[in-house]
Structure 1
């Protein structure tokens, strides 16, 4: 005699993304459905540099920050990072990282600076003349 088991069909979307990846978390779930970094007025270019501010909470502090926010803070704790480096370090899309950085900027946890554009850097010829002048002293 065989035992009959009731087989319930799985509902669409209830499966794992693959056996090793675990459940798939959509980017809009991490950002609360937001696609823009907030009202700070700061542009988060991929080359924008993010530095940890002195008022940033510790990683194990009991705050309202999500795990993705804390991961960004931990990456910035060791050194200044670009937005592209943070996206790679957290394995998150750059758009999601921009929104999360906007949250951290509004909370005063990070500061953002932009590198000097190449057009505003001094000409190499001028720098060589300055060096030659200093050597002449």
Structure 2
């Protein structure tokens, strides 16, 4: 056993195995800000990445981009894994509500102050 680095480097071979050789997600309408929530508990025999996603999304909805960050995997790979879970009914996905013309937005001064505060971080 070597102590030089992580056993799982997340390299292309590993990602190929995780996705079963698939390079494109199903056309399931997932984008970076789509919220995902588990519809139950993981079951014995599930792929470990699927289990991690289900546990991460158990308590509250999590955006696709956040799931990718937590798993330290490319978004495209995460979308493939989520497609599997969606097809099996193990998770649900929902896009955030879009702003419509009648919705009240914060005053532009408030948004400018928020942006200024973010720049100072």
Which TM-score band (shorter chain)?
A: 0.7 to 0.9
Q: TM-score normalized by structure 2?
A: 0.73
CA distance, structure 1, for counterparts of residue 21 and residue 101 of structure 2: 39
User: Alignment partner for residue 83 of structure 1, among 54, 64, 67?
Assistant: 64
Cα distance in structure 2, aligned partners of 1:77 and 1:34: 26
Q: Identify the match of residue 30 of structure 2 among 14, 27, 44.
A: 44
The answer for unaligned runs of 5 or more in structure 2 is 106-121
Structure 1 segments (4+ residues) deviating >6 Å: none
Q: CA RMSD in A?
A: 2.3
C-alpha distance in 2, partners of 1:90/1:122?
38
Who is 1:33 aligned against? 21
Q: 1:89 to 1:24 in 2, by over 3 A?
A: closer
The TM-score, its normalising length taken from structure 1, stands at: 0.65
Larger Rg: 1
Counterparts of 2:47 and 2:25 in 1: how far apart (Å)? Answer: 16
Query: Which sections of structure 1, spanning at least 5 residues, go unmatched?
Result: 1-15, 126-137
Tell me the alpha carbon deviations over residues 64-99 of structure 1, each in whole angstroms, 9 at most, x when there is no partner.
x21001000000012110001101111111111000
Instruction: Report the CA distance between 1:117 and its aligned residue.
Output: 2.5
